[in-house]
Amino acid sequence: MPPIYVNTENTDVKDKMYNGLLAKEHAAAAEKKMQEVVVKTVGKDAGFTTSKPANPKGYSIKLKIAKLNSAGRETKCTMTGELLRYPKTYSVDGSGSTMVSTSFNGSAAATGMGKFAVIDLVEVITESMIKKAIPAMKMDINNW
């Protein structure tokens, strides 16, 4: 069986894979960090690839900062995610993404504020979420 493809492309503004808008001026850095961590974490598992093959079959992992709060010297972040089959399926009703999981989330807190605290939290949460998604992808790949 070929490696399972994980789509990490984040250039479609209408269908962003990584959403860091709540990080305001740090949104682009947060989104870049999400993408880097997905590539790094998935790359550690021999059964996966982020290099798009000729006929890709795999998953897209959408990640979003759902809550971001800074108070005093502490920053708290909550992220949500969706695990979707890739490529999108096409039907009479149009195209769409087949959802594998939506109950995909993580939270963390750090001492500190600003860009570095946000990026550190995004990195830790993203890695944790991807590690949880890997077994789900391995189980689901044989179902389609």
| Euclidean distance between CA atoms 23 and 30, whole angstroms | 7
Which of 54, 45, 23 is closest to 137 using CA atoms? 45
Residue ranges of domains in the chain, CATH in brackets: 4-143 (3.40.50)
d(CA 33, CA 50): 15
Q: What are phi and psi of 117, to 5 degrees?
A: -65, -45
> Global pTM?
0.91
Question: What averages of pLDDT result for each successive group of 10 residues across the chain (144 residues)?
Answer: 92 92 97 98 95 93 96 95 87 63 88 94 98 94 84
